[in-house]
Amino acid sequence: MKGQEGDIPNFWYHMRGAVVYEENKQHIDVERSMAIKKHADGAPTTKVDGMLTISWSSLHGQGTTKETKNVFTTIPKSWGVVLREVFWRFAWAMNALIAGIHPLLDWQDKPAVDAGRQLAGGWRLAPIFCVSDWEFYSTICGFPTGRDRVTVA
């Protein structure tokens, strides 16, 4: 996940000046924060309920997709009504991992048993990319599809 020696500090060095870095640099330890991407993808299906997989992977890691991708969850696409809660839980986890400590409250705003505990041996995860297929963006996020009409004034 960490890549080769020096990959992480080199990555952050080249991110200087980028909005995603500048807006979040107070949370990024350039020696111990791994940049990651979130990925959501569903397999196209007909006549059956397809599955949506939400995963993440390190931008520094090397190897095959199977070796570098970490599945967060897989749910049926028909469960769209719970997707907001799934992403709420995912966001809570990512916020905890970028801070590097277990938050005072759990993802349901209840007092956390492990509040203040250091996570991942001092390593942090900094989510900076969101990668998904257009079906995800149009179905879940409401982006227009090629079938939508566009009116030009």
Q: For residues 26 and 114, give the distance between their C-alpha atoms in angstroms, rounded to a whole number.
A: 23
> How is residue 27 written in tokens?
């949370």
Domain ranges of the chain: 7-139
Average pLDDT across the chain, whole number: 85
**Whether the predicted pLDDT of 76 surpasses 80:** yes
| pLDDT of 90 strictly over 60 | yes
In the structure, what pLDDT confidence band is assigned to residue 149 with cuts at 50, 70 and 90? Answer: low
Question: Is a pLDDT exceeding 80 seen at residue 7?
Answer: yes
* pLDDT given for residue 148 in this prediction: 62
pLDDT of residue 152: 59
Q: How many helices (H) and strands (E) does the chain have?
A: 5, 4
How high is the pLDDT of residue 2? 86
pLDDT of residue 54: 87
